[in-house]
Amino acid sequence: MKAVREYSNFTPENDPFQEHDFGAFDIDGEQLFWKIDHFDKDM
């Protein structure tokens, strides 16, 4: 969780809408992708 919280490698190519809700990094030689979605309960 710390790596996701501190992730800052956002670029126009990997974050075109500037939502900062997706990223990837390497852990122990494996690439890990993460995605955060938020949904409005009233929708």
The pLDDT tens digits of the residues spanning 2-43 come to: 888 888 889 998 899 999 999 998 999 999 999 999 888 887
Is position 19 within any domain? yes
Distances, alpha carbon 22 to alpha carbons 12, 19, 42, 43, in Å: 12, 8, 24, 23
Total domains in the chain come to 1
Q: Is the pLDDT of residue 1 over 90?
A: no
Contacts of 23-32 spanning 24+ positions with Cβ under 8 A: 27/3
Please indicate, yes or no, if residue 21 is contained in any of the structural domains: yes
Indicate whether 27 belongs to any domain: yes
18, part of any domain: yes
Residue 7's domain comprises: 2-35
Q: How many CA atoms lie within 13 A of 29 on its CB side?
A: 0
User: Is 31 part of any domain?
Assistant: yes
The pTM score is 0.66
